[in-house]
């Protein structure tokens, strides 16, 4: 019995030492350790049989088993150190940096052209004493239309023009909409919210994203950035509006550009006008860029309708004011000669790096 166990221990030692020496990585080495020295390992199983030996044979066999275990543990430790050293050397070689090589220059990002234009416009009006006002992009029908003097039958209220929020609270029809909540179609609701909370004098600029049911084409986008201004004070005239917008045009497009106001209609201003600037390509003589007109449309404006003042509790007999609104994308296109607004949002870095 003693000879059988002793021979088995020697065989396990030789077998284990061979596998330890041939282990290629730490994971394989750990598998060898578990296979022989683990709770269910081969050597452990043999040692459990020592209790069946006669008492006089146990010391000799126990000494041999200890020698076998120590030999395995020593071999495992040495092989582990060797494998860890090899792994470290491979990592150092793989991650080594040749300091003599030229550095890799990282490409620095820059502000998007739309944000550049917004900042330029904001700087102009902040310099004139305006403050920045903000409001929610998901807006109420009251602020987006009603308080801005849009009658119930106005076409802008139709679901074909405006993104209404779908009613998910149990509407009977899948086409039903919550007619009270929508994605704002302009930043004019911000003006109403400001006038509700602040008494004149008011000089604010409201930049922000707006949403319309437009198909993207060279001159339209379903989402764009609008910048609207509002002035309410005593004695404000249409001349103040014209002078303000001339200053804006000269700051953004250059002092040599001429300004023209054409009569127009907006529900929340009366009188209303559209503002044109002389074409930079032809100097107002007429060319393909301006369609032969010599002028390019920039923005809409007008004197605040007294009905709008009444909605917010401002006395139209005492106060007057003007409002204007422009699309940042259109201003960018006119300033830099961009033929298609879609280029601004497609993310083509070949185009965007020009700005």
3-class SS string, 289-338:
CCCCCCEEEEEEEEEECHHHHHHCCCCCCCCEEEEEEEEHHHHHHHHHCC
Distance CA 187, CA 116 (A): 19
- Measuring CA to CA, which residue among 334, 154, 344, 130 is closest to residue 231? 130
By mean pLDDT, which of 46-55, 61-70, 217-226, 342-351 is the weakest? Answer: 46-55
pTM of the model: 0.68
> Residue 189: pLDDT band by 50, 70, 90 thresholds?
very high
List the beta bridge partners of residue 40.
none
pLDDT at 216 over 80: yes
Predicted local distance difference test score (pLDDT) of residue 6: 75
Residue 353: pLDDT over 70: yes
- Checking if the pLDDT of 297 tops 80, the result is yes
Residue 257 is classified by DSSP as -
Is 166's pLDDT higher than 50?
A: yes
Across-strand partners of 144? Answer: none
- Kindly report, residue by residue over 229-276, the tens digit of the pLDDT: 999 999 999 999 999 999 999 999 999 999 999 999 999 999 999 999
């Amino acid at each position: 019995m003693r000879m059988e166990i002793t021979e088995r221990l020697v065989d396990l030692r030789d077998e284990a030492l061979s596998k330890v020496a041939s282990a290629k990585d730490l994971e394989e080495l750990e598998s060898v350790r578990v296979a022989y020295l683990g709770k269910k390992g081969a050597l452990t199983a043999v040692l459990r049989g020592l209790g069946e030996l006669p008492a006089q044979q146990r010391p000799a066999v126990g000494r041999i088993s200890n020698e076998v275990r120590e030999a395995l543990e020593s071999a495992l430790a040495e092989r582990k150190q060797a494998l860890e050293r090899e792994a470290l050397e491979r990592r150092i070689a793989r991650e080594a940096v040749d300091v003599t090589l030229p550095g890799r220059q990282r490409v620095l990002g820059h502000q998007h052209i739309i944000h550049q234009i917004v900042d330029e416009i904001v700087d102009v009006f902040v310099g004139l004493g305006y403050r920045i006002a903000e409001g929610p992009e998901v807006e109420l029908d009251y602020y987006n239309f009603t308080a801005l003097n849009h009658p119930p039958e106005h076409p802008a209220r139709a679901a074909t023009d405006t993104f209404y929020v779908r009613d998910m609270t149990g509407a009977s029809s899948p086409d039903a909409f919550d007619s009270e909540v929508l994605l704002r179609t302009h930043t004019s609701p911000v003006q109403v919210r400001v006038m509700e909370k602040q008494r004149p004098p008011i000089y604010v600029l409201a930049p922000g994203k707006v949403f319309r049911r437009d198909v993207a084409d060279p001159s339209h986008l379903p989402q764009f950035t609008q910048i609207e201004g509002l002035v309410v004070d005593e004695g404000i005239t249409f001349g103040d509006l014209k002078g303000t917008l001339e200053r804006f045009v000269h700051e953004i497009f250059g002092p040599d550009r001429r300004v023209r106001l054409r009569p127009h209609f907006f529900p929340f201003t009366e009188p209303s006008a559209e503002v044109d600037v002389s074409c930079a390509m032809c100097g107002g003589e007429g060319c393909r860029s301006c369609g032969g007109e010599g002028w390019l449309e920039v923005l809409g404006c007008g004197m605040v309708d007294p009905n709008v003042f009444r909605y917010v509790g401002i006395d139209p007999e005492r106060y007057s004011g003007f409002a204007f609104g422009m699309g940042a994308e259109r201003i960018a296109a006119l300033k830099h000669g961009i033929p298609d607004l879609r280029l601004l949002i497609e993310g083509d870095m070949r185009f965007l790096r020009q700005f």
